Amino acid sequence: MNTLTVGEQTLALDKDGYLVDLNQWSTDVAHALAAVEALELTPEHWEILELLRGFYQEFQLSPATRPLIKYTALKLGPEKGNSLHLNRLFNGTPAKLAAKLAGLPRPTNCL
């Protein structure tokens, strides 16, 4: 099992780098996970991460790419709810990487 150290805290990660205990997520954890991915979180990233966390609270699952795009378009408009925008923010793997950074489980139907 992998671990991530954030300040004084050591967090367990699964084999793919997702948090084992979703309750340990915080903004500091998101920044640390993003650093592992060589990504600096901007306000645009945070907008999607917060949206994803809301989706998870509502449906108890992490969306795959197509539902993520549709949900983003519904909540933030078509200029942000499209594959080009999400791929640009999350290096071509928006559903998996955004879920990881948001402290959520890996989407079940993502390879």
Whether residues 49 and 93 fall in one domain: yes
Residue 107 lies in a domain: no
Q: Is residue 109 part of a domain?
A: no
Q: Can you name the residues that pair with 3 across neighbouring β-strands? A: 12
* Domain shared by 58 and 76, yes or no: yes
pLDDT at 108: 79
93 and 54 in a common domain: yes
The residues assigned a catalytic role are: 110
Q: Specify if 111 maps to a domain.
A: no
Lowest mean pLDDT among 7-11, 39-43, 83-87, 92-96: 92-96
- pLDDT-based confidence at residue 1 (cuts at 50, 70, 90): low
90 found inside a domain: yes
Instruction: Give domain status of residue 110, yes or no.
Output: no
How many independent structural domains does the chain possess? 2
The answer to whether 91 touches 39, Cβ cutoff 8 Å, is yes
Range of the domain at 31: 2-37
> For 8-62, how does the pLDDT look when each residue is reduced to its tens digit (9 = 90+)?
999 999 999 999 999 999 999 999 999 999 999 999 999 999 999 999 999 999 9
